[in-house]
Each structure stands twice: as C-alpha cells, then as structure tokens.
Structure 1
Amino acid sequence: MRSDFLTCSWPLSGRSDEVAGLAGRLTRPDAGRVLLLGEAGVGKTALWREVLDRCGERGAHVLSAAGGASTSDIPFLALSDWAGPAGTETFESMRRAVRAQAGPRPLVLGIDEVDHLDGASASLVAALAQEAGAALLLTARCPEPEPREGVLPGPLGRVPCETVQVEPLSEPAFDRLLRAVLDGPVDGLTTGALWRMSEGNPLFLRHLLLAGAESGGLQRRHGVWTWRGPAGGHPRLRDLVAGAVGVLPDEEARALEYVAQAGSVPRTALESLIGAEALAGLRRRSLITVRPEAEGEQVRVAHPLYGEVVRAGTGPLRRRRIHRDLADAVDRCGGAPDPIRPVLWRLRAGAEVPEARLVRAASAALRHSDPQLAQRLVAHLHSPGAVRVHGQALVAQGLAAEAEELLATRDGPPALRALNLFWGLRRPAEARAVLDGLDEAAAKEPETRVAARALALFTHGESHARDVLPSALDAPDSGDWLTDNAAATLRAYALTLRGRPARVVREFERGAIGLPPAWGSMRGAAEACHVYAMVMAGELEDALRTAGRYCREALERGDEAELALAAFIRGVALYWAGRPDEALEPLREAQALVNEQTIFPVEGIIVTEYASCAAALGRTEEASEALAVAAGRFPEGSSMRENLRKGEVRVHAAAGRVALAADLADRLAETYLAGGRLTTGVEIAYLCCRLRPSAAAARRLHEAAQECDSELFTLFARHGSALAGRDVAGLSAVAEELASLGYAGLALEAVQAARDLSSGRVSDELARRAGELARGRPPGPRSPSPAPARGSGELTGRERQICELAASGMSNPDIAGYLRISVRTVANHLQRAYDKLGVKRRADLPGALALPSADGS
C-alpha cells in the first residue's frame, strides 16, 4: 500500500492544450501577460510550473517566485533568488540584474500567489513588464464572485493581464490522474465517489487518497483499487477543510453547520435562523451556493468535502438541535412543498411525528428511489404497514441480514421474506420452506407466485426450470412495488431465454418493461437483461452504448450492486464485439464489487464470463483457475450450473481441445434447447457448428433459430450452413454482415474459414480481408475450429478427443473415467492416433495437434 500521495510527484492531467496555448502566448513577440485564477488546490501552481518549463524549452529566460504570508511585508523577500546576496537588494540593482541575466532572450516572469506579493516586489515586476517587455504568468486564488478586481497588488494592478480561469479537472482527466497515481485500475464506484467528494480538485483528491491509505479504506481487491467506508472524519481532511474555510464568525459557522446537516435548505428558512448577513458572508467566501429551484431558492454547501467534514465534526447533541431548528424554521416559513424533509428533520431532532404520516412519507421516498430515507422514516415503527415498507427499504438497499431479522421477528410479508432469503442471503432452501408453509390462499397471491417462480428458475434443476419458464413470462400486478419490480425483471429474463430478445428490446424501448427505481441490485439485473437482449438481437453497437450509460448512471447513484452488474454486462457486450482484452477490465471490476448485496447467483456467472475472455486471449491456465472458482459459486442441482458448462466449452475450444469442446457443446445445446432456453441453446448450437461443422449441426441451429425472433440467429444459422457446405461465398457474405453489425470476432472467424477453403486469388483476397478485421485485435486463438494435424491420416472425432485429453496431462485411467469407456479402448485409440500423426509418445501430441502442452507452454 503506497502512502506517499502527498509527497510524490503527480502528473499534470488534462491540461496539455492549456499548457501549449499559454506557453505560446507568453513567448510571442508582444509578450503576453496572463493571470491564472482558481480555487485552492485546483492545480494552478502545477499548471504554472509546467507552462514556465515549456517557456524555458522555447528559449525564454524564466524567473519564478512565490508570494506568501511570510513574505508579504518584507521588500523583495519573495524575489530574493533573482539577484544579489540577501539584504543587498534595491529596486535598481534588482532591475539591472534581471535585465542583464536575460540578455537578448525573451524574459518570462512567473509569480505564484501574486496576491501575497509585497509592494516593492510588485513594483519591480510591473516595471519589468512595462519597460523591459517581460511576459508575466501570475496565479491567485479567487474566492470572490468577481475575482479579478483587487487581486493584483500595487502597480501590478495597472498592468493589463488576460485572466484565465483554471477549472477543476474534467471527469476523463480526473480518471486518468487517479489511475496514474494509484498505478492501476480503480473500480467505477470508487472513482465516482472520489470525483464527487473532490469535484475534480487535485489537492482534495491527494488528501482523500492519503486518508484512505492511512485508514485502510482504500484497498486493492482482485487487482482493482476500491474504497470501503466513510471518509469525512479523517483528521487530514478536517485539517484541509479548516485551512480552506478559515476562521469564521460565529453566525457564519452556525449557518454552515445548518447547511451541511440539511444538505439543502430553503433560503427563507435559513435566513430566519441566522440572518441575511451571515448568509451573504458565506457566499462571499464561496462556501455555499444559492440556486433557484421549483420549490424556491435552495442553499447548499459549495463543495461536497466541506459538508462531509463539517458533518463528521458535529456532535450528536448539536445535530439534534440543528435539525429541530431547521424543522421549526420551515414550519414558521409556511412549510416545504416536499413533505419528507421536515418529517425527517423532526425525527432526527427526537420530536414526535404521527405514524400514518411517517408511513406515507416512507412510501413516497421508495417511489422516489430513496430506500435509505424510507428506512429511516419507519425504522422505529411496528405496525404491519410500517414493517412492510421497512422490509422493502432494507431489501432495496441489499441489507439482506437486517431485512431477514425484521421480517422474521415481526411477521413480515412471506413473499418479501422468501425473495430476500433467496436473492439477498443466498439461502434458497429456507426461502422454499417459507413458501411451502403458506396456506392455499396465500400461495396463490401474486407476490407469492413471483417469489416461487424466481426460486424455480434459479435453484431447481433443468426440468423444473423448464416447467416454470413459461409462467415467468407473465407479470402479475400484485400492488407491491418491490414484488412487481422483481416480476418485471424475471419477465425480461424469461423472454430472453425463450428466444425473444428482440421483443425484450422493444418492450424496454416503449416502457412495457422498466428499470426498478430504487432496488439497486434488481435494477442492475434488469439492465443486464436489457443489454444481453440487445446483444442477442443483433443490436451490438446500441448494447455497448447502453451498457456504458448504465455504468455511468450506477456511478452517479453510488450503488455497488448495480454497478457490479452494469460492469459485468458491459464486459459481456465487449466479448461479443470481439474485444476480450477490453472486456477483462469491467469483468474484473464486477468481481471486485460483488458483495453480499449482489443478487444470487450472479457471482458465478461473472467469473465464468471472465474465464471465457481470458481463454479467448490464450490465457488458458488463468481461465481454468477462474472456472474452478466459478464452480463453487453455483448451487448443486441448479439449472444455473449450465453457465459453468458453457464456460468450459469456450475454454476447451480456445485451448485447442476442439473435439472435447464440440462434444460438450453438442450435449449442452441439446440440454438448453430441450429445456426451452432457446437463446442460450442457439448460442451453444452456433458454437458447436463452428467447432465441428456438419449438416446435422447446421440443421439443428437453423430449426432453433426459426423459433426465435432474432435476425442475428438467422445469420448464425447461415454461418453454420456455410461451414457445413464448405461454401466460400456464403462464408464471405456472412462475415461482412457480422462485421457490419459489430461482431468483429465472429466476422474474422468466418473470413478465416473461407480462406482455408479457397485458393489462388480468392484466398489472397480473403487473407487481406482477414488482416483488416484482425487489425487492432489482441493476440489469441484465431478461431475455435480445429487446427490441421500433422501426419498422413485424419483423426476420427474420438481419436482427437482422447489425444486432446492426453495432451492436457490426463492419464489413460482418468480419460477412461471421464469418457466412460475402458482403459483398453483409450490405449487403442491413442496408438492409432500416434500412427496417423507420426509420433511415438504422449509428449509429442501438443506439437502434432497445435495444442498447448500440459504445463501451459
């Protein structure tokens, strides 16, 4: 863990255009004069240094100095390095020395914190600018609304200067800086939190990182930096904010406390508490903002970090008084259009609020995507209505353990409890027991049916899931917002599985299927269903854009569970785009963000997809290790374990064990298609056609595609038929259509297959096209098709399969057990394969079959 964030040299991020432009202005013949203005820590000094260095590189004579509180009253102390021994400086001697040093070169003078420069030094700098034609680059802090006036001291105020406002870093520049400083990827949620707290201010970021390093909140997990826990109470941040805020008059300090605790407070209410003068003082110091909104002018802290630190430093008794004062002030001023805010303030102050009003306010908070607030409003209530809303709020936040304790001890709704036991706590057996204990009438309730379907789809075996899949296409209106959100997401999932991805895309577009507004993990699941449906419907470019948008929105909401799923599905879309190298990072991020709030059983699916990407890049050992991890993330007997089998097929294929992969794919495709999971069945049947082309495999894929609504599946079927028929023109046409849709990896496979089947000029043209499609793609297996074996005879499918297993390091008895054949049969097949390949021993098989050896080489 590095902890030198304060002392190490940081790169200048996102300022290259500014540096070039400013250096050009300062070194031009008419000697530009520039004043850099910006808030403390925004990066003025770093920009100033970089520009002066660039001027020196262009041949200018550069002199720099910095003002400060310790130099503002002593003549020439700030400029003492410019000429002469200490104590001998006079105006004339300094002016002559500087001009002599510059000689014929352009003179550039840089003054950091020019507003703290003493009068004599300011006069000298002004004289050098006016008489010697010196260019000026000055910096000053600008706390005032109109900062230019009065910033430059003495005679410098009469020197015309171009004012340049130094803004905080843009979000992309901030992201680049953060990665550079931490020397590695950072999860999106952490990046978003640091961005919001620092608002692009590099100094604040530096202190935040140091606070995280010292407290242990900033850690590296799965190779990705992530932050856990609060930040505002760290002593370093308190010191930083104290320095930025300065010493405030009592009324202004009180006003800042009110605003920090409220988050947002009506101006009229705040002025009734502390007066207009204190409010104006905070505005002059740029510590608050006042903005008109629909409910009137609202006051907020100017920087999130100010609020974080002020709140962390306010004791509990003081907080109670502040909230009581705020609630009283709002009531005196006629109340607020938002009924939730004064209710919450009164609760925080320990005042009484009628229960019915609290439950209504909590329900409104849930509808407005604020389950945290809903929880706080009803946490101390015990009526059935309050318990239901409280339980929903806990489940929506992913607080599964707390929700189970509440729902179990206070007789909460059984369907809600079952959903939480399954999706939240990953205890499907207990969830089934809750539902099995219901009487016949309760079992028929819409919300109970939704919970039962979820359990059947994700925890029972394939045959049970097949039976329940059609019923999941319905979305019963239970009147319970959380259950209805779960039902809508299940419906999107079921429709996609049943071969209707295009329909899912259309229903999302017109709002027939929506995103849960407050339940982060379920919202992420719905987003994943949406993006996956787009990928399977042939709308890959839209899928990539939508996945990126979902990631950004999850960052803004700060929901780890949602972001984990959004990052995961973005990785899936990148994999289908033929960019597995780019897919690894969001999939790693998804693994790092998965926690107890992530709905079950997503973690295993994420790790399986990561294994597929690693295999596609030729990293088969890493992929195999990931599959071993994924195996422990799926419940035994669950239909979801078939995702693991899909990963195994991809890893075997990428490793060159094509016969083995083809056999597994063939069986898996049959399992999916027989179970009514048509979309995944088509995906695996398509892979089977590419692994072992045949008329039967192509026919199965064609028939399955006909049952679905995706035009992409029809294109897959054409690809399979062209491979089986060795149709060069057909493969070329398929490749171009796949490329036009964005499926570059599949397009490259089709072109390579066509090239292998052609000769002469056609082969040359296809080789050129393959090169175009491969440009910019990462190195890795070129396609899942089997590489030609050396030797005079062609291996049978069983011979190749046994050779692949032998090359992977398996013994004859292990192979026999795996394939359920005798050891003698294994030995006979191996010997025939040796004869055909012209090899004599097991160790020669990898080279003969173009396979990786058992040690991965």
Structure 2
Amino acid sequence: MNRPWPLIQRQLEFETLKSALTSDTGACGVVLTGDAGVGKTTLARVATQSVPGDVRWVAGTESARSIPLGVFAHLVGSATARDPVAFMSAAREALLGTSGRLVIGVDDAHLLDQLSATFLHQLAIDRAAHIVATVRNGETTPDAVTSLWKDGHLMRLELTPFSREQSVTFIESVLGGPLEGLSANLMWEASGGNALFLHHLVEGALEAGTLRERRGVWQLRGRAAITSELASLLEDRIEHLPPEVMRVLELLTFCEPLALDTLSDLAGEEAVEEAEQRGLVQIVEDGPKVEVHYNHPMFSEVVRRRVGRAAARRLRGNLVEALRTHPLAGPSDRIRLAELALDSDQTLDVDVLITAAKDAIALANVPLGERLARAAVDRGGGFQAANLMARAQLWQGHVGGAEEALSRFDPDDLDQRQLVRWGVTRIANLFWAAGDATAGDQVLDQLRQRVQDPAAAAVVRGIGATCAVFENRLDEGLADAEAVLAESNPTPWSEEWGTFAASMALALTGRGSQVAALAARADAVMNKVDGLTRYPAAMGPILALVLTGRLDDAARRAQAYLDHAGATGQFLGWGQANILCAPTDLARGRFAGAARRLEQATAALAVGDTGSALAWSFPAYPFLAQAYSILGRVENAKTTVAAGVERYGRHTAVFGPMFEIGKAWEAAGQGETSRAITTARGAADAAAQSGQFAVEALALHLATRFGDPTTAPRLAELAERCDGVFVTLAADQAAAFEAGDGDELSRVAREFEKIGALLDAADAAAQAAVAYSNSGRRRESLDAGATANTLAEQCDHATTPAILEAARPLPLTSREREVASMVAVGMSNREIAERLCVSVRTVEGHIYRACMKLDVADRSGLADSLRARH
C-alpha cells in the first residue's frame, strides 16, 4: 500500500515548521529531532512542498561522511579549490546564485561531514537560506549541527511517537475503515506509536491475513506480522551482535518477559548486561520480581524470523528445562511452561497440560485453553481434558466441536462429579452457544434425574436457575438461585450460577438494591471457573445500577470489566465487556460512542459455527437499535432490528421486553410516533407478564416520552414497587405530562440531569416547553426549549419525538405531524398508510392539510420544511 501519511496527525508541528520556513524574523528554520521512524522526513518534505521558493534537499549518509562537503556536491558542482575556506566560498556562490527565496532541507543531519556541517551553520548564521534538518535521537551529531538550535539559529522541534488516538487515525486512514479498539491497543503497543512501524505492521498483517475486515470493522487476530522491508531495517541493529547477546534475544523471543535470574543462567550475566547496554532489552522491577523485556516489541519479530524451526524447538526446550527448576508461582507460570513445551523437544506430564488448560480458560484465554486441552486429549488426558476442550470450544461458538468432544463419553460411565461437568458443559453449549434451549433443557432434565450428590445437585440447580431466567421464567429461576446460594458451603460452580441467575432476576424485577451483595460474591469466585462467564454474569449487576438511576456506579463497574478484558488481550471478553458498557452509555446519552462500541462488539463476537455467539451478543441488538434510531441512522436501526429478530429465541427470551423497547425506538426514528407508543406499551405488557417490573417502568417511561398521556397510574404503582430514583422520576414525569404541568416537568428534567440521564432530562424539558406554550407562558417555554436543545446537543445531537415537537411548534395536529415526519424520512403514501392502518386517501388528506398549514406546494416541500426545522 502506498497511501499518503495523514498530515492531520502532525498539524501543529506542520504549522510551526511552515511558519519558521517563511518568516523573515527569528529562527530561519527548524531542526526536527526524534527516534527513527517517527515521521521526521515525511513532515519536513511535506512542509517544504507547501512553501514558496526554490527547495534543495540533501541527505547525510555514512558513506559520505569522509568526503568534505560531500552531501552538497550534487548542488554546487565540482570545485578545484583545496582550501576549505575557498571551497565553502565557491559552494556558497554556486548554491546561492539562484534568484528568489531558497529553502535547504537536510535529512539525517547527524551524518554530515564536518565541512558540510560548518557550511550549513554559516548559512544559518547569515540567514542566507531557510533550513529544515532532521536529526535522529541517540546519535553522535557534529558540533556545528548541534549549535544550530543551541545558539538559536534554528528552532528545535521534537517529534514524539503517536498517541493511541493518533495511531488509530493513522491506521484507519490506511485501511479506509474503523479499527477495532482491542486491535488498536495491540498495534499501538507493538509499534510504540512509531509511524514507520505502524505502516509496516498494517502491511505485514494484511499480507499475513491476520488483519481482516469483519462486519465493517478491521480486526487483528494473531501475531502482529511485519513486512520484510521493516525486518531489513531493524536487522541492522542486530546483524553484527556477538553470539552470546544474540542468544539473549532468541531466548527472550520465545518467552517474554523472563526472570532475570533465569535468563542469566541460560545466556550468561555478561550477555544480558551487554544486551541492556545496547538498548535492546530493559530490566523491569515489579516488587520482588525482576524481569527482562524487549526494549521494543518489533525486535522480537525480527529475531523470530531468523530462527529456524529446529533451533526454535531447541530454544523452547532449554526454556522448559530452566523453568522446571523454579517453583511455578501461579497460573501464568503454568500456562507459560505448558505452551513452551508444546512446540519444544521436551515433554510434560498430561496433568500439567490439563492444569494449564484450566488456568487459561479461567483467565479467559480460551483459544490457548483449547490448544492445551487438545494436546492433553491427544496424550490420553481422558474426560477432564475433553471437557476442558469442549468448554473452550463453546465459548468460541464451535458448537459441533464441543458436542463431538463430549459425545465419546457415556454418562453412565461417569461419576457424579464428571457427570455434572459433562452436563453443564453440554447445556452451556446447546443453550447459549447454539441457541437451542430445547436441547439444553433435555440435558438439564437428564442431570436432574441422575445426580444425587448434594454438592453436584446444587450446581445442576444453579445452571437450571440461569436457564430459567434466560427463558424469562424469573420467579422460578430466582427461587432456585436463592436456594443454591443459601447452601452452607456452596462450590464455586454453584455459587457462580446462583449469583448469575439471581442478580439478573432481581435487577429486572425492580429489586436492584439487593444485587450489590450478590455482585461482590460473584467477583470472589469468577477466577475459579470459566473466565469468560464473568462478562454475561455482570449484566445483571450493571442493569441493576442503571435501572435504579445509579449511572456513575454502573459506569465504573462496566469500565472495570472493560479494563480487565483489555489487559488480557482476548477479543471474546473484550467484545462482551463492550456490551456491558452500553446500558450506561445509552442512559447517559452517549449514543455515537455506544454505536461504535456495539458495532465492534458484535463484529468481535461473530465467531464459530453459526457466525455469532448468539446469547452472548444478543443484548447488543436492542441497545444498538436505540443508538442508531436516536442518531437518525434509520436504515442501520432497521437492519439491526432484523438481525436481532433472527437471533431471538427461548434462550434469549429474558431480553424480549428490552428488544421491544429497541423496536419502539426504531419506529420513533422513522417518525412513526403512534407505532412507537404502541410498541413501547407492548414492551411494558410483556415485561409485566414475566415480572420484569423495572423494565416495564422503562417501557412506560418511553411511551410517556413519545407522547402517551395515560401511563401515570401504572408508573405510580411501579414507583412503590421498584428500587431507586429512576422509576420515581418516571412516574412524576408521567403525572406532570398528563396534567400539562410545565413547572413539574422542568423539575423532573433537572433531577434527571443530576443523575446523568441527559436524554431523559432533554425529553422532560421539551415536554415542559410544550406545556408552557399551551398555557401561554412564552418565556418559560423558550427557556425550557433551550434547555432541551442544550441537553440534546450533549447527547450527540440526539433527536426524539418530544425534542422535535418542542423545537418546531408547527400548526399541525398530532397525526398530521406524524405523517409529515414519515414523509420526511422518505416513506411513500402507501407505506405510510400500511404502517398507520389507514387508507391511502386518508394519508393524502393529512399531507394536503399539512401542506396548506405550512404553505408548501407538495410532499417534497413538506419534507424539506420538516428537515429545515429538525
């Protein structure tokens, strides 16, 4: 790819450089300093192309350092003078003989010979030309060049590596599309923000197929490959290293970081010291641990390319032997030892592989967990290894592989503990990964009949409770979950499933204040079971905080999960963690960010046999439909709703009422206010039937915001039943809206703003503006309308029916306004008639009357009029 470097990355530096090259006062140019590859030459050349005058470029090289005035030879021609003074005088006359402004660019000025450096220094002193020079950090530089900035003749401008945000913009400009956040982190860390490294990383990953586009999002999956061109550039640093130093780098390539003592034992203390002195590695102290890291991750890839397969196996074997002599301090040490052994000339006991696979799955690294478990299966690891492999596969959506791994075991041949593990894994695979609730329930019934051991039976009851909650049988699921959690000595597995089910059920039924204790209990056991379970299990506690109006607490909890997922570098956990952030983003009015987050999450979770880990990603669809609708991305909202419909079933029934809320937002986004209200009321009815009283309140509140004046009585009942401030405010707003009380609506708007629910506040303020207008209080109406607009702008310029009505006080009836809004989004008269269940003639009548009231000629003018008032 030969894409231009996006100059916006260095806009400030570019303007500074351009100003120095055109100003006749102050410094007559700039010396750009920085590490190799940060973009010094690119910036300098782009800047010189943008200024008037004659631009002459020279470049310092190692080979020209022995030739006096060598870099300027092609500009000044040959000279017969041997005296340096006469030589420079002749060069000056030849170079400055041209008319007009002269700009001299010097690349790698640290490599200039002494006479060239002196000549450049004199030109700067005399202000005979404007100069831009680049100097690489850490290099020995001639005194005459150094004095250019020390004496103030040229300005010194340090170019630092790109920030993460700059790196993302750079990569996306090359790819032409959005880059996944997790991939952006990995590429930024691997490159150190170096522009040259970033460019070659992108090219190398594209060539290797590890950087690919999925659902419009670019994802890095696998090692960060580099191009042969970049490898050649970096190999200069290691080409002539002593063998003992090279061994340090080779060992570190296959095991980074590595304890200083271990590396010193394998390669020698002096070799490690010399590698550090050469700037190739760094020693990092973390409490009692002293570890060795590469100074730059890219060198690891260069060394890896140089090591053959046989040598790599031998080196890994050396590392395995060395690590075996030290006590394994924890899961990371066990995983590292097992992973090294797989590709080495050493063998490990199958029990070590099984333990390492279990550790990897607990730490959410399921691809590695599958690899280690598969190796254990191949070495005769039996049921335990096969079950671990199946657990790793189901998280990746490999439904068939998980079933195959477990199908070779007859449940009649398993003991009680094995039977539960066999059954729980199959239930999770069938129910959540495959989306087949019927098959999952059949296995659950089988376990209930066979398992007699009390501890094992508690695990079965726990997962049964979670299945019941997901099937939207909340009372049954909560009763079973509470019974499991009441056990005197629950196992981590039963406690995991019990807290999972209970927290979700309590949050949705309006008892969110009881969830905090369960969340703390769940946190204590999550590292003991499948690490990825922590993310779907966290939805309940986060919804509890959102539905009770504790948005700041919800945001902190969701961010903690996102930080954890980012630290592990595992995309499945990262995708699920982003979905956890969505409820708070939406409640706070951060719709553009929520849309980007959810787009990336659904792309990350589009894995496995069906192309999607169904149950894990399903909550993204109602959230994404809402974000798209509020942002005016109507077609995206329709597509998202359709995708959600395809993925909906018994296994995700608990999210049904919330999905209906997403559909209501999609209708509102198309201007179909009456359908939006009807859908929101339908969501409330569905929630009420299953006991989701907090969600019922959310749906009725939405109907209020869309213009339904009949929600107050039921919301008042729900305010008595549900925890937290949110439902109370929703009930207050409904009562005030029904009464047309502008003052009370304004108060509710202020209270919503205090808890951070900015779009709720905007809608309440918008309804206050209309209420004030209806009662003839014009000044208050204008103030409330301004408040609504200000809050809407803070919500990414969101649009809702209430905000639109307040912003455009049209002389139209509610139905005329609805029809006009549907015209504005491009619907035909027949489509409008079908949506509103009226005749085409009736629609035409509404359009005719609206056109007359707004003094426009036709439906095209009507659409333009509404868009102008938007």
TM-score between the two structures when normalised by the length of structure 1:
0.81
Q: Deviations over 1:201-244 (max 9, x none)?
A: 11111011122333444344433333344443754554454345
Local SS of the residue matching 1:532: helix
Residues 1:566 and 2:585 aligned together: no
Match of 1:617 in 2: 631
Structure 2 CA distance for aligned equivalents of residues 42 and 780 of structure 1? 43
Give per-residue Cα distances to partners, 1:41-66, cap 9 Å, x unaligned: 13333455578789x79x9x987532
The residue aligned with 2:252 is 259
Partner of 1:13: 9
The question of whether the paired residues in 2 share the 8 Å contact of 1:656 and 1:851 is answered with: no
Aligned counterpart, 1:524: 535
- Residue 438 of structure 1 deviates from its aligned partner by 2.6
Q: Is the 8 A contact 1:698 1:720 kept in 2?
A: yes
Which one of 681, 687, 696 corresponds to residue 666 of structure 1?
681
1:490 and 1:87, CA in 2 relative to 1: closer, same or farther beyond 3 A? farther
Query: Of 38, 56, 76, which aligns to 1:84?
Result: 76
Match of 2:799 in 1: 780
**SS at 1:278's partner residue?**
helix
| Higher mean displacement: 68-77 or 547-556 | 547-556
- Aligned residue for 1:246, secondary structure, equals coil
The match for 2:449 among 435, 440, 464 is 440
Distance 1:87 1:483 in 2: 89
Q: Is the 8 A contact 2:761 2:791 kept in 1?
A: yes
Paired amino acid for 1:122? A
Structure 1 SS opposite 2:73: coil
Q: Choose the corresponding residue for 1:735, options 749, 763, 770.
A: 749
**Are 1:761 and 2:750 matched, yes or no?**
no
Name the structure 2 match of 1:489.
Answer: 500
Identify the residue that residue 316 of structure 2 maps to in structure 1. 323
Deviations 1:665-711 (A, max 9, x none): 2232122122111221111111223335345x211012112211121
Paired residues of 2:171 and 2:199 also in contact (CA < 8 A): no
Per-residue deviation, 1:11: 2.1
Distance verdict in 2 for CA 1:545–1:783, change over 3 Å: farther
Instruction: Judge conservation of contact 1:650–1:661 (CA < 8 Å) in 2.
Output: yes
| Cα shift readout 1:633-654 (whole Å, capped 9, x = no counterpart) | 1126962444442222222233
SS of equivalent residue, structure 1 residue 656? coil
Give the 3-state SS of the residue equivalent to 2:283 in structure 1: strand
Contact persistence 1:731–1:751 (CA under 8 A): yes
Separation (CA, whole Å) in 2 of partners of 1:359 and 1:73: 63
With over 3 angstroms needed to count, the CA separation of the structure-2 counterparts of 1:654 and 1:298, relative to structure 1, is: closer
1:206-355 superposed matches below 5 A: 206-232=199-225, 235-236=228-229, 238-294=231-287, 296-311=289-304, 314-330=307-323, 337=329, 340=334, 341-342=336-337, 344-346=339-341, 348-355=343-350
Deviation of the 1:804 alpha carbon: 14
Distance 1:830 1:701, change over 3 A: farther
- Report the aligned-residue RMSD: 4.9
Residues 149-181 of structure 1: CA deviation (Å, up to 9, x unaligned): xx0247657888498765422223222323344
Among 90, 103, 112, which residue is 2:107 paired with? 112
**Cα offset for 1:720?**
0.7
Asked if the contact 1:362/1:374 (under 8 Å) is kept, the reply is yes
**What is the CA–CA distance in structure 2 between the aligned matches of 1:483 and 1:79, rounded to whole Å?**
78
The aligned counterpart of 1:823 is none
Closer, same or farther: CA 432–139 of 1 in aligned 2, 3 Å: same
Check whether the contact 1:198–1:305 (CA below 8 A) recurs between aligned residues: yes
Measure, in 2, the Cα distance between the counterparts of 1:503 and 1:104.
Answer: 83
* 1:420 equivalent in alignment to 2:429: yes
Residue of structure 2 equivalent to 1:700: 714
Q: Give runs of aligned pairs for residues 457-536 of structure 1, distance below 5 A.
A: 457-458=469-470, 460=471, 462=472, 464-472=473-481, 476=485, 481=492, 484-504=495-515, 508=519, 513=523, 516-517=526-527, 519=530, 521-536=532-547
Aligned to 2:414: none
Q: CA deviation at 1:451?
A: 2.6
Paired residues, number: 824
Report the alpha carbon displacement of residue 515 of structure 1 after superposing the two structures with TM: 8.7
Shift of 1:608: 3.2
- Which deviates the most, 745-754 or 787-796? 787-796
Higher deviation after alignment, 746-755 or 98-107? 98-107
Distance in structure 2 (CA, Å) of the matches to 1:674 and 1:404 = 35
Change (3 A) 1:309 1:486: farther
Within the candidate set 133, 141, 144, 1:152 is matched to 141
Could you tell me which residue of structure 2 aligns to residue 628 of structure 1?
A: 642
Q: Provide the residue aligned with 2:614 in structure 1.
A: 600
In 2 relative to 1, CA 237–431 (structure 1 residues): closer, same or farther, beyond 3 Å? Answer: farther
Confirm or deny: 8 A CA contact 1:607 1:629 kept in the other structure: yes
Whether the 8 Å contact between 2:448 and 2:460 is mirrored in structure 1 is no
- Alpha carbons of 1:773 and 1:324: their partners in 2 closer, same or farther (altered >3 Å)? closer
CA contact 1:752–1:766 (8 Å) conserved in 2: yes
**Is the aligned partner of 1:382 residue 2:391?**
no
Structure 1 contact 654–784 (Cα < 8 Å) conserved: no
- CA 1:300 to 1:690, structure 2 compared with 1: closer, same or farther past 3 Å? closer
Q: Judge conservation of contact 1:795–1:833 (CA < 8 Å) in 2.
A: no
Residues 620 and 79 (structure 1), Cα distance of their counterparts in 2 relative to 1, 3 Å cut: same
Tell me which of 719, 723, 726 is aligned to 2:733.
719
CA distance in 1, matches of 2:525, 2:719: 28
Q: 1:734 to 1:182 in 2, by over 3 A?
A: same
1:528/1:565 contact within 8 Å kept: no
- Corresponding residue of 1:191: 184
> Structure 2: how far apart are the matches of 1:694 and 1:576?
22
Q: 1:216 to 1:513 in 2, by over 3 A?
A: closer
Which residue matches 2:788?
770
SS in 1 for 2:268: helix
8 Å CA contact retained: 1:604, 1:631: no
Contact 1:188/1:555, CA 8 A, preserved across alignment = no
Out of 453, 456, 459, the residue aligned to residue 468 of structure 2 is 456
Q: CA deviation at 1:257?
A: 1.4
> Which structure's residues are more often helix, by fraction?
2
Distance 1:674 1:553, change over 3 A: same
Higher RCO structure, 1 or 2 (CA under 8 Å, sep 6+) = 1
Q: Tell me, in whole angstroms, the C-alpha distance in 1 between the residues paired with 2:865 and 2:451.
A: 58
Q: Name the amino acid aligned to 2:59.
A: A
